[in-house]
Structure 1
Amino acid sequence: MKHIKILITNVITLVVCVGQLLAQEVVVPDSTGVAKSTTETLNSITKKDTVKAPFKRYKAEGVTAVVGDYVVLDTDIDKGYIELQSQGISIENVSRCQLLGKLLEDKLYAHHAKQDSIVVSDAEINAQIDQQLDYMISELGDADKVAKYYRKNNIAELKSELFEVNKTIKLASEMQRKVVEDVEITPEETREFFFSIPEDERPIFSAEVEVAQIVIEPEVTKEARDAVIERLREIRADIVDNGASFATKAVLYSKDGTAQKGGLIEGVTRTSPLAKEFKDKAFSLLEGEVSEPFETEFGFHILYIDKVRGQEVDVRHIILFPEVTQITIDKAKDEIEAIREKIVNGEVTFAEAARNSSDEKETRNNGGQLVNPVTGDTRFDLTKMDPALSAYVYNLKKGEVSKVYSDRDYTGKSSFKILTLTNRYEEHRADYSKDYEKIKELALKEKQIEAIKEWQDKKVKETYINVNEDYHDCEFSSNWLNQ
């Protein structure tokens, strides 16, 4: 078991180190202000520190370490515990030395990102901060409570601190990505990796399923479409002709999450993950112009160009959705019930019915087959699956069709769905031929870990690093003390 334990440890380490490379943003400990008494927090955790001998607490706001252009304060470690707790992560076995080691790594990456001229857009960081603040406000009620919780005088002060922290995180993440971007794994390396693991120590892969679905949406009538377009024209006329505030109109009428920010979307580029029609409209208008109503797959919009910055634009938009009647809702439900009956009776296959009838463009041409957005393949780990989807497929047998159920997307638009299990893979020990892609991924991660370790060992020697003597008894995984 020793070999596989090392493998698992390495994979966990890579998840922390590689960050966005694995489609998951790394959240570092020093990302917010102190939320409650640090003395109370420290009293509950310092006794668990993995140091050779106890150390005295350094003065408040004392400098714990310097890494290149960056400073780590003792309170940054305190904040780290608060951050972990706020994410529901147990701090029982997390020592101050471990948190400091993670902070030192982040600062090292960020420092060398600057040295390598890696640029991070301020608009991107501001958009990320807006998302964080939106979440905090939704949890605590209002902006003043958020500022108070993080012991800031106002939300602007908190936003300023979050900007610096998030920018450092992003720089570190981009540097990490650069370190491993050229690391590749060959079939022979994959084979050697797998067969170097003793047979009884090879990883166990969880049960997985492949799922297909058919979606029927209630029809949007011409009258409903015309009504929402006319409403947007009225709003636009009040803005253009009467000087009404677009931002205020967005707060009052827009139907998506940007409404509370006056419809603001910052830093839109040609490659932003937005509807093509939306981006085309954004780059066809001049600063200060308001578009005519237009449609995307998400709804009907009007758009205002707030600011143009080269190849980036800040826009505000108002989005409305046509209303559907109970008659069209009932009709959609009857339609999918009839489709299900034909499938169950063997009159048509699920895939044929999906291609002929499903309203979901992304899946219908593939027989309704769903693609896992995390892995990019069609398999879903039952232990990591979206709970809403898992509830409907967990007890299905291969080829069985679920009952009809209703679903709502983030816009509030309702639809009716049926699901089927196109394949089920029970929990099993890794098999080279059946699980090649997963084994290849593990082998690649191990190789990336080695690349990261080599880079870090080299840069630690090249970079000015000074760690406060209170932490010289820490057993770091890297040579931060230059011993």
Structure 2
Amino acid sequence: MKYIVAHRQKMSLKSINRFFFCCSICIFYLQGIIVFARDSLIIDQIYAVVGDEIVLKSDIEKQFEQYRFQGVKEPEELLKCNIFREFLVQKMLVNQAELDSVTVSEAQVNVQLDQRINYMIESLGSAENLVRYFRKSIAELKDELRPQMYEQLVTQKMQSDITGAISVTPSDVRNYYQSLPDDSIPFIETYYQVNQIVLYPPFTEQAIYDVKDKLLLLRKRILEGEKFSTLAVLYSEDASAQQGGEIGFMARGELAPQYAEAAFKLKEGGISTIVETEFGFHIIQLIERRENKVNTRHILMRPRYSSSELLRLRTKLDSIAGLIRTNDTLSFEEAARIFSQDDDTRQNGGLMINFDAGTSKFGLDDFTPFDGYEVRRLKQGEISQPFEAKDKNGRTVFKIIQLKQKSEGHKANLKDDYDMLKKFAEQYKRQIVLNEWIAKKQKTTFIQIRGDAPACQFLKTENWIKAE
């Protein structure tokens, strides 16, 4: 029973009816289902039925908890009603996807799951903090999020199919903007565009030797009978250390090439020799292989840098900054192309990219703590002093940055914010098409809102409850 609830990929009303019938638990009259909490038995109520899909009270509560985790501060009643609306629309789309045989692959779900977990780890500072916050292991969190992630991806695919290739003309954008009440015109927060020059401290031969020697000793201890997972917790420098180094099932393309090559050659339980990747040096154990995916655990170690090498990099960056400041013929962008060792930004003159937003514009909260601290101190056009930071793989780097542009907060306007307003106009047009589709499906889809569901105003105004 616990398994059914915890692992429901598709938990329809029919399956719940069969379950309760077989167990002869008629006392509940299908008003709720039983789930097991960590410490006690609780009743999880059915709030709504949409076609062959259900919305549970626990669905709303879990999503509410995630929104609070993300910093959403709407009043509880309003936020839960908005979440309820989201689930009703989602279940309508998922129900139709079942009828139309629309699916997404397990690989797509895994990629999104990993991104979600990595975001949560980054937000809380470490995997250990994440496990402590939710009181669940990473594997348990993934299992809990997997059905939700599957439905979200199916929903997105259905929405894309329904709205099609929406496009707007400049006239559409202007009409959309002019139709907005003054108090509804978006306020554009202050944003920054930043160039960077990045240098990586090289590892000395001695530092590399020391790391390899430590890994070889750990490998020897494992082969002599000590548990790989225990040693990973104690010695690995990767975020997966708290899970005994386990990173879950991944396809070859989801892993660093050198890591994948070693992992896919191993037999179950086998231990690799030392593997070098862009992240550092590893030893790897194959836990299980399923077709084209492997579940592995690893111990990651990185060489230490000498203080003399770090001082040399600071001095070199200081010289580059001085050269830019005093030489009218050398721009920061050109210097980045010549000196920077960051592959992601070197060719575009060092311009940093906000990958989460898909733009070069950053709010202060979008920067890492290292970069954000320096950006706050700069005026437009100024270059920072050299400082230590971490790259996307956790490696130590030294960099200088230039505040290329700072745009003060303002109400959106067509001249300065056309691209953003164009996106809003496209979203508005998509929403109209989706709303029309929902209204049409409401007439032909079985919908039941249970009496214990939140008494949200939208249920009547948007025709989820039929007028009597």
Q: So what's the TM-score if we normalise by structure 1?
A: 0.72
Asked if the contact 1:214–1:368 (Cα under 8 Å) also holds between the matched residues in 2, the reply is yes
Partner of 1:176: 156
Classify 1:271/1:61 alpha carbon distance in 2 versus 1 (closer, same or farther; 3 Å). Answer: same
Q: In the aligned structure 2, how far is the partner of 1:159 from the partner of 1:141?
A: 10
Deviation at 1:97, TM superposition (A): 4.5
Partner of 1:146: 135
Partner of 1:247: 229
Deviation at 1:474, TM superposition (A): 4.0
Opposite residue 229 of structure 1, the aligned amino acid is: K
Partner of 1:313: 294
* 1:366-445 aligned within 5 A: 366-382=348-364, 385-386=367-368, 388-409=370-391, 413-428=395-410, 430-432=412-414, 434-445=416-427
**Structure 2 residue 302 is matched with structure 1 residue 325:** no
Show structure 2 runs of 5+ residues with no match. 1-34
Q: In the aligned structure 2, how far is the partner of 1:33 from the partner of 1:120?
A: 29
Classify 1:133/1:443 alpha carbon distance in 2 versus 1 (closer, same or farther; 3 Å). Answer: closer
Q: In the aligned structure 1, how far is the partner of 2:73 from the partner of 2:189?
A: 24
Partner of 1:468: 450
| SS of corresponding position for 2:314 | helix
**What do the CA deviations read for 1:52-84 (whole angstroms, capped 9, x no partner)?**
xxxxxxx95443322233333456556665555
Match of 2:49 among 57, 66, 90: 66
Asked if the contact 1:84–1:91 (Cα under 8 Å) also holds between the matched residues in 2, the reply is no
Match of 1:235 among 214, 218, 236: 218
**What do the CA deviations read for 1:178-214 (whole angstroms, capped 9, x no partner)?**
32266334452x4322244329945453443321111
Deviates more, 1:309-318 or 1:99-108: 99-108
Opposite residue 214 of structure 2, the aligned amino acid is: R
| SS of corresponding position for 1:306 | strand
Deviation at 1:419, TM superposition (A): 0.9
**What do the CA deviations read for 1:92-144 (whole angstroms, capped 9, x no partner)?**
3634644433332333344444443524639839868977997698459859x
**What do the CA deviations read for 1:239-278 (whole angstroms, capped 9, x no partner)?**
34x3443323322321111112121111211342x43332
Classify 1:353/1:101 alpha carbon distance in 2 versus 1 (closer, same or farther; 3 Å). Answer: closer
**Structure 2 residue 319 is matched with structure 1 residue 338:** yes
Deviation at 1:331, TM superposition (A): 1.6
Partner of 1:479: 463
Partner of 1:104: 88
Q: In the aligned structure 2, how far is the partner of 1:246 from the partner of 1:470?
A: 49
Partner of 1:301: 282
**What do the CA deviations read for 1:33-68 (whole angstroms, capped 9, x no partner)?**
98999xxxxxxxxxxxxxxxxxxxxx9544332223
Q: What CA RMSD, in Å, does the superposition of the two structures yield over aligned residues? A: 4.0
Q: In the aligned structure 2, how far is the partner of 1:279 from the partner of 1:165?
A: 26
Opposite residue 172 of structure 2, the aligned amino acid is: E
Partner of 1:55: none
Deviation at 1:288, TM superposition (A): 3.6
Asked if the contact 1:396–1:421 (Cα under 8 Å) also holds between the matched residues in 2, the reply is yes
* 1:106-145 aligned within 5 A: 106-115=90-99, 116-119=101-104, 121=106, 124=110, 138-139=128-129
Asked if the contact 2:200–2:341 (Cα under 8 Å) also holds between the matched residues in 1, the reply is yes
Asked if the contact 1:472–1:481 (Cα under 8 Å) also holds between the matched residues in 2, the reply is no
Bigger RCO of structures 1 and 2 (CA < 8 A, at least 6 apart): 1
| SS of corresponding position for 1:305 | strand
Opposite residue 172 of structure 1, the aligned amino acid is: Q
**Structure 2 residue 198 is matched with structure 1 residue 197:** no
**What do the CA deviations read for 1:161-187 (whole angstroms, capped 9, x no partner)?**
x73564134313332233226633445
| SS of corresponding position for 1:197 | helix
Show structure 1 runs of 5+ residues with no match. 1-31, 38-58, 148-154
| SS of corresponding position for 1:376 | coil
Deviation at 1:414, TM superposition (A): 3.1
Deviation at 1:362, TM superposition (A): 1.9
Q: In the aligned structure 2, how far is the partner of 1:77 from the partner of 1:300?
A: 43
| SS of corresponding position for 2:350 | coil
| SS of corresponding position for 2:358 | coil
Classify 1:458/1:168 alpha carbon distance in 2 versus 1 (closer, same or farther; 3 Å). Answer: farther
Deviation at 1:381, TM superposition (A): 3.9
Q: In the aligned structure 2, how far is the partner of 1:439 from the partner of 1:69?
A: 38
Classify 1:140/1:235 alpha carbon distance in 2 versus 1 (closer, same or farther; 3 Å). Answer: closer
**What do the CA deviations read for 1:3-37 (whole angstroms, capped 9, x no partner)?**
xxxxxxxxxxxxxxxxxxxxxxxxxxxxx998999
- Number of positions where the alignment pairs a residue of Structure 1 with one of Structure 2: 418
**Structure 2 residue 463 is matched with structure 1 residue 454:** no
Partner of 2:23: none
Opposite residue 302 of structure 1, the aligned amino acid is: I
**What do the CA deviations read for 1:323-369 (whole angstroms, capped 9, x no partner)?**
11112122222221222222222274322322222232222232211
**Structure 2 residue 353 is matched with structure 1 residue 353:** no
Asked if the contact 1:401–1:418 (Cα under 8 Å) also holds between the matched residues in 2, the reply is yes
Partner of 1:218: 201
| SS of corresponding position for 2:299 | strand
Partner of 2:25: none
| SS of corresponding position for 1:463 | coil
Classify 1:207/1:251 alpha carbon distance in 2 versus 1 (closer, same or farther; 3 Å). Answer: closer
Deviates more, 1:376-385 or 1:458-467: 376-385
Q: In the aligned structure 1, how far is the partner of 2:127 from the partner of 2:378?
A: 39
Classify 1:427/1:343 alpha carbon distance in 2 versus 1 (closer, same or farther; 3 Å). Answer: same
* 1:250-289 aligned within 5 A: 250-272=232-254, 274-289=255-270
Classify 1:437/1:80 alpha carbon distance in 2 versus 1 (closer, same or farther; 3 Å). Answer: closer
| SS of corresponding position for 1:194 | helix
Match of 1:209 among 192, 207, 224: 192
